Amino acid sequence: MAGKPKLHYFNGRGRMESIRWLLAAAGVEFEEELFETREEFEKLIQGGTLMYEQVPMVEIDGMNLVETRAILRYLAAKYNLYGRNIREQAWIDMYVEGLKDLSDMIMFFPLSLPGEKEMNLEYILERATTKFFPVYEKALRDHGQDFLVGNRLSWADIQLLEVILMAEECKPSVLTGFPLLQEFKARISYIPTIQKFLQPGSQRKPPLDESSIESVKNIFKFERGMFLKNMSTIVAEY
């Protein structure tokens, strides 16, 4: 019997969170090996299992998978969350790649300098409500189904719910004016495996706070204030 997938990352959301979401939605139990210091991270690097000396890494099916999108696509295909055919896969890819742009902005928002936070928050909310959420509201309206693609749950639905909840942490009323997304959020949240993941005590991680920001800075050796203009300098490892 195959063992549980093992996730290697720091003790926080980052790029691993979408992987946690996908596994949880698929009803797959997983283990986590979380490092808390630079030394623990370097030990993992020295072990030779990180292809590019970066995380996240997932041990599964005898492989050490790296690169977030490669991991997500593998898991989506393995657990039947990647569409029924190549056409559906193309739609799923388009939806999740767009969502990545928004989720990255929200992910790095806590790293804003104090004097930039208000500006960065306004930018995130403007892009969410004028560029991204209108796309998914229209997609649900045009498709006329409970899900974004086809007639069953896919990676795209899981990613959309995750990003909606992230945006609501920035502004609880962010879905005002998007009735179909509001219905979508309620509907997908009640899928049993997802509902379980949303409960306290699950392996879902909280947003970055000041303590966890300091931990991340020490592990990955970067400074704050790299949010919009300099985000690319921390995307690779984080």
**The pair of three-digit structure tokens given for residue 84, joined into one six-digit string:** 């029924």
The DSSP output letter for 226 is: -
The DSSP output letter for 10 is: E
What pLDDT, on a 0 to 100 scale, did the predictor assign at position 238? 38
Produce one character per residue of 149-161: b if its CB has 16 or more CB atoms within 10 Å, e if not.
Answer: bbeebbbbbbbbb
**The pair of three-digit structure tokens given for residue 58, joined into one six-digit string:** 């997932």
Q: Kindly give the pairing relationship between strand 57-60 and strand 63-66.
A: antiparallel
Ranges of residues in the chain whose predicted pLDDT is under 70: 1-2, 222-238
The DSSP output letter for 50 is: -
Distance CA 159, CA 92 (A): 10
What pLDDT, on a 0 to 100 scale, did the predictor assign at position 233? 37
In the chain, the domains with their CATH numbers are 6-80+199-220 (3.40.30.10), 86-191 (1.20.1050.10)
What pLDDT, on a 0 to 100 scale, did the predictor assign at position 215? 81
Task: Give pLDDT tens digits for 104-135.
Answer: 999 988 888 888 889 999 999 999 999 999 99
